[in-house]
């Protein structure tokens, strides 16, 4: 049996970014303690995702015009430099720079992975490949919390970043030769088109303004920055996204709207559970990571349930159900904010949230990418991944603002995090409404075979 080097390379690329992202979620409470950086806790997530947003738009654009090989190499190099800077950081500000470069590299990896699947595999194989890419996020979730927690407790958190450098090189060696072959068999879109990068910059600037609003206690300044940021974001999204996004029109618009809600709801809980475990329960880094391990298990189960049943009953039917399950998991995970409730309860409740995310994630990918042709797959990937980044960033900004307010004012951290968890559950229920219109068929366009 021939080894599919492209599949392995794409899987490892996504796994590398996933491991780094999830490891940071486990390590960050310890890093914030060392640098006294609670005020920048949320910013470490936001700068990562803003750089991720810009790079994935740029990568999708270049993929449609010049192919996959060159932007993939840039992504590997950028990700590696970000690891070095973060691993040698001596302040939260230096860590932010490293996180931004890591976000840029990972955005390229994720965007090009979606495009490569659309171009290199037949429509029949694409659902399984999207599941494989999703597994690239899930499997690191099974080990990243423990590995990152153990390394942080023994030799120090810096070695989590430095230790990942060889993996970036392996990813490039595996994937790039296969991407050259895919490029050679793909008819690229050489029609002059207006660049989408300025729109990505506006979205990033808008989310940045909303995030900056959390670092002041003057309410009028908070409202001014937040309003200005919202105007920038909405105006840019209207031009970048397909028509009908706000009303979740059937097909790709609904799939993208659903993904925004899904990422906001899931990460609104997932990235703040370790913080609650440390501050409310005094948990060690390893135990902090263990509290979110159940979500990874649930996600993995849910995504393969979707692959096996979606083709039979329709992928779109799974999405609303997944959102309801996700909402139940986020709401019940508020239990972690009570010191008298053992942490294993959160392991169970957040496993429910992960199950819901796994059920809905792959169907939205299939519908979001399936309506594109091979030469416009970069645009479809851009829209889908911008939805992910936007949902994540907005919730990270809100959650970071609540943590920052608790640090600067008399607001209790448990009260701040309660707001975040409740909001996450509410967004999931909104996603269930959008999910009712997630339906569509894969494009009949032929894919080129993987080498």
- Does residue 247 contact residue 435 with C-beta atoms inside 8 Å? no
The residue with greater pLDDT, 404 or 151, is 151
- Does residue 259 contact residue 391 with C-beta atoms inside 8 Å? yes
Question: How far, in Å, CA of 358 to CA of 343, rounded?
Answer: 23
pLDDT tens by residue, 63-85 = 877 778 888 889 999 999 999 99
pLDDT more than 90, % of the chain? 20
- pTM reported for the whole predicted model: 0.70
Does the pLDDT value for residue 450 go beyond 60? no
Enclosing H/E stretch for 428? helix 413-435
pLDDT of 395: 82
The residue with greater pLDDT, 308 or 431, is 431
* 5-185+241-435 to CATH, choices 1.10.260.40, 1.20.1250.20, 1.10.10.10, 3.20.20.100: 1.20.1250.20
Average pLDDT over residues 290-317: 78
Cβ density class 399-435: b for 16+ within 10 Å, e for less: bbbbbbbbeeeeeebbebbeebbebbbbbbbbbbebb
Does the pLDDT value for residue 445 go beyond 50? no
pLDDT tens by residue, 178-222 = 888 887 776 666 666 677 788 888 888 887 787 776 666 666 666
């Amino acid at each position: 049996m021939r080894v599919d080097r492209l599949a392995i390379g794409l899987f490892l690329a996504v796994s590398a970014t996933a491991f780094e992202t999830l490891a940071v979620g486990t390590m960050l409470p310890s890093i914030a303690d060392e640098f006294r950086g609670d005020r920048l806790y949320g910013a470490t997530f936001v700068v990562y995702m803003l750089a991720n947003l810009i790079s994935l738009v740029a990568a999708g654009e270049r993929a449609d015009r010049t192919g996959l090989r060159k932007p993939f190499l840039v992504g590997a190099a950028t990700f590696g430099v970000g690891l070095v800077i973060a691993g040698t950081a001596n302040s939260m500000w230096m860590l932010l720079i490293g996180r931004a470069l890591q976000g840029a590299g990972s955005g390229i990896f994720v965007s090009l992975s979606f495009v490569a699947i659309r171009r290199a595999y037949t429509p029949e194989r694409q659902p399984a490949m999207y599941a494989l890419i999703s597994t690239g996020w899930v499997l690191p979730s099974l080990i990243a919390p423990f590995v990152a927690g153990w390394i942080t407790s023994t030799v120090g958190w810096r070695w989590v970043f430095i230790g990942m450098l060889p993996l970036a090189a392996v990813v490039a060696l595996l994937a790039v030769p296969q991407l050259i072959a895919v490029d050679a068999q793909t008819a690229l879109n050489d029609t002059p088109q207006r660049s989408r990068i300025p729109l990505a910059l506006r979205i990033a600037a808008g989310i940045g303004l909303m995030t900056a609003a959390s670092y002041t206690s003057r309410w009028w300044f908070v409202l001014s920055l937040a309003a200005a940021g919202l105007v920038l974001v909405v105006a840019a999204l209207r031009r970048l996204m397909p028509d009908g996004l706000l009303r979740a029109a059937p097909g790709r618009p609904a799939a993208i709207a659903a993904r925004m809600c899904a990422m906001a709801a899931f990460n609104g809980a997932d990235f703040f559970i370790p913080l609650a475990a440390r501050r409310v329960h005094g948990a060690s880094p390893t135990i902090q990571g263990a509290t979110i391990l159940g979500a990874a298990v649930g996600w993995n189960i849910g995504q393969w349930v979707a692959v096996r049943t979606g083709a039979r009953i329709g992928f779109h039917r799974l999405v609303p159900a997944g959102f309801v399950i996700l909402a139940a998991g986020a709401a019940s995970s508020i239990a972690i904010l009570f010191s008298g409730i053992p942490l294993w309860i959160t392991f169970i409740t957040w496993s429910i949230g992960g199950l819901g995310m796994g059920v809905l994630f792959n169907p939205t990918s299939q519908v979001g990418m399936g309506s594109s042709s091979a030469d416009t797959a970069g645009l479809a990937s851009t829209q889908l991944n911008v939805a992910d980044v936007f949902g994540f960033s907005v919730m990270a900004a809100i959650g970071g603002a609540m943590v920052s307010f608790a640090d600067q004012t008399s607001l209790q951290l448990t009260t701040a995090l309660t707001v975040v968890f409740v909001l996450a559950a509410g967004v999931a229920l909104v996603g269930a409404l959008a999910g009712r219109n997630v339906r569509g068929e894969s494009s009949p366009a032929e894919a080129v075979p993987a080498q």
